[in-house]
Amino acid sequence: MSRRACSTIHDSAARGDTFDLSGEDLDSLAKRVAECRRCPLWEERTRTVFSNGSKRARLMFVGEAPGREEDLQGLPFVGRAGKLLTKILDSVGLARDEVYITNILKCRPPNNRDPNEEEVRACEPYLARQIELLKPVLICALGRVAAQNLLKTNASLSVLRGGIHYYNDTRVIVTYHPAALLRNPHLKRSAWEDIKLVRKIYDEEIAGEE
């Protein structure tokens, strides 16, 4: 594809134009993501980062964007923050292979900066389709960027934590990104309360379906 053609795709995404993903399942959607050039991030990525975990999971974790290790391996949360996320899940009896983990963005922003509006708009249809296909009973947003973009709000993380929010009809709990816990270990006690709430609501939702 020429740079000129790529520019057209970038412009289309920037205008908020939609494209049809209704016929895609998770496997074909991952292939679409791997070939995506809807924003300029494709030019510097090593690999796209689609998801990790079970396609039958009812509990979904959404972070903001891949980091260096994720970009190299093509999997979300595989660096230091990812190892901590695994421990957090273990602490409430959850394994990574029974939940579904993804990000707002599927490509790494330069120097791990926050996603910009164009990048979020370009990737948003992929995440929306993932949620539509997975039909989670609960989503846990990891960090401010994930929470604000999922919930379409500018509210601070301190305001969003501790409450129950909604993405369409799906409940959303907001907690700290594991990277923030590595930088600020004093936040771990609050994160522990969050993950206990995630487990409680998840169990209630699953029990209600039986």
* Per-residue pLDDT reduced to its tens digit, 56-97: 999 999 999 999 999 999 999 999 999 999 999 999 999 999
The yes-or-no verdict on residue 7 having pLDDT over 70 is no
pLDDT value of position 47: 97
Of 117, 102, 96, which is closest to residue 51 (Cα–Cα)?
102
CA torsion, ordered 103, 104, 106, 107, to nearest 10 deg: -110
Tally of domains within the chain: 1
pLDDT value of position 209: 82
Express each pLDDT in 161-202 by its tens digit.
999 999 999 999 999 999 999 999 999 999 999 999 999 999
CATH code where residue 79 lies: 3.40.470.10
- Share of residues in the chain with pLDDT > 90 (%): 89
Q: Are 41 and 109 in contact (CB under 8 A)?
A: yes
The yes-or-no verdict on residue 49 having pLDDT over 60 is yes
Full domain range(s) for residue 156 = 3-209
pLDDT value of position 5: 34
Across residues 42-49, what is the average pLDDT?
A: 96
What confidence category does residue 13 fall into, taking pLDDT thresholds of 50, 70 and 90? very low
Q: Are 139 and 170 in contact (CB under 8 A)?
A: yes
CA 97/CA 107 separation, integer angstroms: 22
pLDDT value of position 17: 53
pLDDT value of position 207: 92
What confidence category does residue 2 fall into, taking pLDDT thresholds of 50, 70 and 90? very low
The yes-or-no verdict on residue 210 having pLDDT over 80 is no
What confidence category does residue 143 fall into, taking pLDDT thresholds of 50, 70 and 90? very high
